[in-house]
Amino acid sequence: MIQFECRLLRGLLGFICLLPMCTSAAPDICVPLKTVRDSLNSTLRRRYMKMNFPINYTIQVHYEEVFRLRNISRLNTSNEDEPVQRRDLQDLWLIVSQQGIKRVLRVLPERHPTRRKYLSNLENLFRDFEALFHQWNPIDPKRDRPESIQNIMDRLEDSYYQGWKSVKPKSILDNSYRTMLCLFKECFSKEDDNYDYCEVHNWRKDKKTT
């Protein structure tokens, strides 16, 4: 009898976990992502991306390498045959963040502390996360990306494209951090927390959390 009840219970638990609630929460992806988040915290961003550089130091990046909350809301509401999915924006976030890190690494001497103590490690964390993310959520080869997203990706890969903009190194990671919290809300929002990380105004008011 007890054995039967156990089996019933196990069957029931198995069934519950097939429900969308269990699968869409994707807790697995949150673990490596939280490691990335911890490395992007405000103390570390300020120390390694601001204090270690001359005042008002800027580097040159392509326009598309600036990916902010406003970009997300604009792309999310863009009106196309193929709607923009969260997944498209997450892929874009991964590419832009990693390209941004590479831009900063390119101007740093071999022995610079930001390289040795911070960015090399951060680059690896992003690479590890990307591998797991693609493994758990394979790209659907039958779906064409929306044109708006594809155009951005093409320009990101085009090494002849000339459209340069000066940005502070820290702003690259500030944007990466904010857009991460928006695009992977499930990993970061606490229960009974209605805080919307995608809302630009929330960040404005609340500068300390950056």
Ligand X SMILES: *[C@@H]1O[C@H](CO)[C@@H](O)[C@H](O)[C@H]1NC(C)=O
The residues that touch ligand X, with contacts defined as CB under 6 A, are 41-44, 55-56, 63-64, 66-67, 71-73, 76, 86, 89, 96, 152, 182-183, 198
Q: Which is nearer to ligand X, 76 or 98 (CB)?
A: 76
Least Cβ distance, residue 13 to ligand X (angstroms):
30
Least Cβ distance, residue 10 to ligand X (angstroms):
35
Q: Which is nearer to ligand X, 42 or 120 (CB)?
A: 42
Q: Which is nearer to ligand X, 45 or 115 (CB)?
A: 45
Question: Quick one: tokens of 167?
Answer: 């940005």
Least Cβ distance, residue 67 to ligand X (angstroms):
4
Picking from 85, 83, 104, 84, the residue whose alpha carbon sits closest to that of residue 175 is: 104
Q: Which is nearer to ligand X, 115 or 178 (CB)?
A: 178
Least Cβ distance, residue 28 to ligand X (angstroms):
21
Least Cβ distance, residue 63 to ligand X (angstroms):
4
Q: How far apart are CA 210 and CA 201, in angstroms?
A: 13
Half-sphere exposure of 163 (CA within 13 A, CB side): 11
Q: Where are the alpha helices (DSSP H) in 17-168?
A: 20-24, 27-39, 42-46, 69-76, 86-107, 113-114, 120-136, 147-157
Helix (H, G, I), strand (E, B) or coil at 54: coil
Q: How far apart are CA 116 and CA 48, in angstroms?
A: 10
